[in-house]
Homo-oligomer: A and B are copies of this chain.
Amino acid sequence: MSTKALSIKDIAKKANVSITTVSFIINGKGVEKNISTAVIERIEKIIQEDGYKPNQVARSLRMGTSKIIGLIVEDISNPFFAGIARLIEDKAYKKGYKIIYSSTENQPGKTKELIDLFKSRQVDAYIIAPAEGARIEIEKLLLENKPVVLFDRYLPDLNVNYVGIDNFNASYNAVKQFVKDKRKNIALVTVDIDVEQINHRLDGYKQALIDHQMPFSAGLVIKMPFGQTKEETIDRLVQLFKSHPEIDAVLFATNYLAIGGLMALKQMNKMVNERFSVIAYDDGDVFKLHTPQISAVEQPLDEISDNIINLIFQQISAKEQLAPQQIILSGRLIIR
């Protein structure tokens, strides 16, 4: 249906040179290839005037690269991932790369599907927050020497680039803060997916209890099924708070669980106050504006995306295989 775009042939014909010459000039190799300044200028003018843009698809086919980076996350509308997406987009754009994204919804099969799809589109690099079952697919990418950076969730024993925060310590410090505030019955609300990041949040919680000579009570750890509705989350939490009135502090292992928790409290008319504390993972406006303000573990989005993009471009431009790096940043506990 649409009008035909100009091709390199059209420009070559118009300028009375070969497409080789035009190609060299487009790619800034005019001088290097000893093309006369007069010809270079003449052709650049034509390109400029006619608004010719090289067909990147043809270029991709020929070169085997696409200048596209694939981003695979659990849910692009989650503020954490949306924030990362925005920052990465910006940094990639400055180097001439674009981002294609997809959400896995934590479905095990989806990662494979997405990676295959991205592969067939010749994406140059993969940024992945691995869902459950992603390990084999990522191993395959590594075998093929594709540039890969994981973030948010680490895959233990896999020698791969990773950027994330120290979840163990973040949880540990949150609990430590509760103890300092004389809390006696500290609950952890987390999610039942089996990924390192989430497991470490639990481990840090447990270790902090041990180190402060506090008993660990299984009843105070709630693992929510992944993907349950917000209403189900709220109901479960209302039940928890009712059946365990002794709870005087809650650490929420994710942003959306904290929001569900605050809604449950609101519904019960239970106040967050000197006798009941809350700490949430992933800071946000909602916690700053809450009355009272809610403490949170802030993930440094800017630092995370900087590191991701740097690792990606290091790999893209590397002549040989680089040793993978694991970059662990600190989550900042913001006490309010």
- A79-B82, A85-B76 given as contacts; is B54 within 8 A of A57 (CB)? no
**Complex interface: chain B residues within 8 A of A55 (CB):** 61, 120, 122
Q: Are A76 and B66 in contact (CB under 8 A)?
A: no
- Cα distance, A40 to B290, chains bound together (Å): 62
- Whether A144 sits at the interface, judged by CB under 8 Å, is yes
CB contact between A60 and one of B57, B77, B89, B102 (< 8 Å): that residue? B57
- Cα distance, A311 to B96, chains bound together (Å): 30
- Cα distance, A79 to B99, chains bound together (Å): 19
Q: Are A101 and B89 in contact (CB under 8 A)?
A: yes
Q: Are B61 and A58 in contact (CB under 8 A)?
A: yes
- Cα distance, A203 to B119, chains bound together (Å): 49
- Whether A36 sits at the interface, judged by CB under 8 Å, is no
- Cα distance, A57 to B3, chains bound together (Å): 21
- Whether A291 sits at the interface, judged by CB under 8 Å, is yes
Q: Are A89 and B68 in contact (CB under 8 A)?
A: no
- Cα distance, A143 to B5, chains bound together (Å): 12
- Cα distance, A89 to B321, chains bound together (Å): 33
- Whether A146 sits at the interface, judged by CB under 8 Å, is yes
CB contact between A89 and one of B76, B83, B146, B262 (< 8 Å): that residue? B76
Chain A: interface size category: 35 or more
Among listed A176-184, A193-201, A213-221, A281-289, interface-contacting one: A281-289
CB contact between A57 and one of B87, B121, B144 (< 8 Å): that residue? B121
Q: Are B86 and A103 in contact (CB under 8 A)?
A: yes
Q: Are A119 and B291 in contact (CB under 8 A)?
A: no
- Whether A239 sits at the interface, judged by CB under 8 Å, is no
- Cα distance, A259 to B119, chains bound together (Å): 41
A96 (CB) vs chain B CBs: closest residue: B117
A289 (CB) vs chain B CBs: closest residue: B262
* Interface residues as binary, A146-162 with B (CB distance below 8 Å gives 1, 0 otherwise): 10000000000000000
Which A residues between 269 and 287 are near B, CB-CB below 8 angstroms?
284-286
* Interface residues as binary, A131-152 with B (CB distance below 8 Å gives 1, 0 otherwise): 0000000000001111000000
* Interface residues as binary, A31-73 with B (CB distance below 8 Å gives 1, 0 otherwise): 0000000000000000000000111111011000010100000
- A144-B2, A146-B2 given as contacts; is B53 within 8 A of A61 (CB)? no
Q: Are B143 and A3 in contact (CB under 8 A)?
A: yes
- A79-B79, A82-B77 given as contacts; is B66 within 8 A of A57 (CB)? yes
- Whether A90 sits at the interface, judged by CB under 8 Å, is yes
Q: Are B289 and A259 in contact (CB under 8 A)?
A: yes
A294 (CB) vs chain B CBs: closest residue: B289
**Complex interface: chain B residues within 8 A of A89 (CB):** 76, 101-103
- Cα distance, A285 to B89, chains bound together (Å): 26
CB contact between A1 and one of B75, B76, B85, B321 (< 8 Å): that residue? B321
Q: Can you list 25 contacts pairing A with B, beta carbon distance less than 8 Å? A: A1-B145, A1-B320, A2-B144, A3-B145, A5-B119, A53-B119, A56-B121, A57-B60, A57-B121, A57-B122, A76-B85, A76-B86, A77-B82, A77-B83, A85-B101, A89-B103, A93-B102, A98-B100, A98-B102, A98-B117, A259-B285, A263-B288, A266-B289, A286-B286, A286-B289
6 cross-chain pairs, A with B, having the tightest CB-CB distances, nearest first: A77-B86, A82-B82, A291-B291, A286-B286, A1-B145, A56-B120
